[in-house]
Amino acid sequence: MTDFRGLGQLDAKELASLFPNRKVVGLAELKLADSSWRAYCSPDPTQIEQILEADTSALPFLGAALGAHLKRFPSIKNGLGAIENVALGLTQDGPASFNDIFAGFADAEPNYGLGDSQLALVLARMISAKRPALRVIGVNGNDPAPPPTLSTLQNTKIEITELGRAMLKGGTDFVSQNGIDMWLGGVHLDNPEKLLRWDDQLEKLVSNARV
């Protein structure tokens, strides 16, 4: 299958073909899963970084998943996480439908495995902010468009604002413009003055960077 997204795409015969390659889940896998879940739920996300610095080979997909999670923290570049930045970039060439953004995001970031409702929540945060990075217009071009939910976004076009373009270039910061109140695992991000941010160059979280 050239465009494999998950086991739900497989029929009974294809699922059965995977059985001979099954792996035993032993103590190493269980211990790593337990420590990783505790780290994910902790209010201290540096525990995840500690997991990534150790051997995660017992669970082959774990490292990529935890790494993708850390990239969801606000970037030092513009205060947006990886999901927001990719979604924002998909609108920079002109208004796009929700379905086009959803398909483009799935192609660009398959590790996240977001469903349409999850991506709609991400877009809604950027649309509904005091100083938004995105705006919506009705499919017939009328404005204002309805409130951003999955059902309404599917009937609109979404376009980047001038502020959003500045954010993509690193010229302004979403958190500085709008504040922050969100959860990532066990971490409540609600204080811009004590905010952990993701540094792409260092590939780690840093404290109080460019707030």
> What integer pLDDT is reported at residue 137 of this predicted model?
82
Mean pLDDT by 10 residues, the chain (211 residues): 74 91 94 98 97 96 97 96 97 93 93 92 94 81 66 87 96 96 96 93 82 41
Q: For position 153, what pLDDT does the model report?
A: 87
Q: Round to whole Å and give the CA distance between 175 and 75.
A: 10
Please give the pLDDT value at position 77: 95
Closest CA to 79 of 167, 191, 187: 167
**Domain count of the chain?**
2
H or E segment and range at residue 41: helix 27-41
Helical axes 98-108 vs 82-89, angle rounded to 10°: 120
Task: Judge whether 84 and 74 are in contact, CB under 8 Å.
Answer: no
CB within 8 Å of 34: residues ≥ 6 apart:
none
What pLDDT, on the 0 to 100 scale, is given for residue 210?
A: 46
The pTM for the full model equals 0.88
Specify if 197 maps to a domain.
no
192 belongs to a structural domain: no
What residue type is 207 in one-letter code? S
pLDDT of residue 83: 97
* pLDDT score at 148: 83
Strands (DSSP E) found in 120-168: 134-138, 156-160
Asked if residue 34 belongs to a domain, the reply is yes
Say if residue 96 is in the same domain as residue 139.
Answer: yes
CB 171 within 8 A of CB 77: no
Q: Which domain holds residue 66?
A: 26-70
pLDDT of residue 149: 83
The CATH number that applies at residue 160 is 1.10.10.10
